[in-house]
Amino acid sequence: MTQKLDTGIRQEQIAQAALAVVARHGLAGLNVAAIAKLVGIVPSAIYRHFGGKDEVVEAVLGMVRERLLDNVRNVCAETSDPYERLHRLLERHLALIRANHALPRLVFSDEIYNGPPARRRMMFRTVRAYLDKVAGIVREGQEAGVVRADIEPATAAVMFLGLAQPAAILWHISSGTFDVVAHAEEAWRLFSETLRGA
């Protein structure tokens, strides 16, 4: 029989396995059989550690949330220059997407919207938290006088997402053909020019 492990450990393993499955097959392709196989246990064993598939999905969304916000925290800790912060954040966001193929699909996934309302609300809070932090970086830049003052920080934050989002789609849809990094660099150049003003 498989080694018996503590529920805490198993929950961690299951959540990570689930994230891996989502990364390969999307949230729609997430099934307990696949998770169990990755963990090395039998499907029904999942229910010893989670109330059901929904709870596993919650855990996955929590992990994604943490990874996204970690990126923001890290770049903020590393430098105080707003441009350097945003530039690095963009790089890491794209790295996260590349490493975790389905991440952008997650935000859009039908399961988020068709599932329990609490799930959509949590996703909304996550995205808004991310946007708020980006907007905060922009606002600090304005207060320091290095970013144009006539730009709404919230708008800039959404536009910042817009640098990565469509590129991620294209990369996905083109099976990796589209050069995300090259586009991001060029787009960043233009976007940062805009923030700096004439």
Partner DNA sequence: GCGTATTGTGAATTTACGTTCACATAGCGG
Partner DNA sequence: CCGCTATGTGAACGTAAATTCACAATACGC
Q: Name the one range near DNA by CB under 7 A: 45-53, 69-77, 86-94, 153-161.
A: 45-53
CA dist 174 → 162, 185, 186, 188 (Å):
18, 19, 19, 22
Asked if residue 123 lies in contact with residue 68, where contact means CB atoms within 8 angstroms, the answer is no
The answer for residues whose C-beta is within 8 angstroms of residue 28's C-beta and 6 or more apart is 109, 110, 111
List the one residue from 42, 95, 144, 181 that touches DNA (CB under 7 A). 42
145 binding partner (options DNA, a copy of itself, none; Cβ < 5 to 8 Å by kind): none
Q: Does 71 bind a copy of itself (CB under 8 A)?
A: no
Q: Does 31 bind DNA (CB under 7 A)?
A: yes
Q: Does 132 bind a copy of itself (CB under 8 A)?
A: no
Report how far residue 21's alpha carbon sits from residue 35's, in angstroms, rounded to the nearest whole number. 7
For DNA, the closer CB: 22 or 137 = 22
Q: How far is the CB of 10 from DNA (least distance, A)?
A: 5
Tokens 């980006």 locate to 134
Report how far residue 182's alpha carbon sits from residue 145's, in angstroms, rounded to the nearest whole number. 29
Total site size for DNA, rule CB under 7 A: 23
26 binding partner (options DNA, a copy of itself, none; Cβ < 5 to 8 Å by kind): a copy of itself
State the angle between helix axes of 117-143 and 82-99 in degrees (0 to 180), rounded to the nearest 10. Answer: 150
Residue 26's region, left for phi above 0, alpha for psi from -120 to 50, else beta, is: left
Asked if residue 184 lies in contact with residue 91, where contact means CB atoms within 8 angstroms, the answer is yes
Report how far residue 196's alpha carbon sits from residue 104's, in angstroms, rounded to the nearest whole number. 29
Q: Does 166 bind a copy of itself (CB under 8 A)?
A: yes
The residues binding DNA (CB under 7 A) are 1-7, 10, 30-33, 41-45, 47-49, 52-54
The residues binding a copy of itself (CB under 8 A) are 25-29, 102, 104-105, 107-114, 120, 123-124, 127, 131, 151-152, 155, 158-159, 161-163, 165-167, 169-170, 172-175, 183, 186-187, 190-191, 193-194, 198
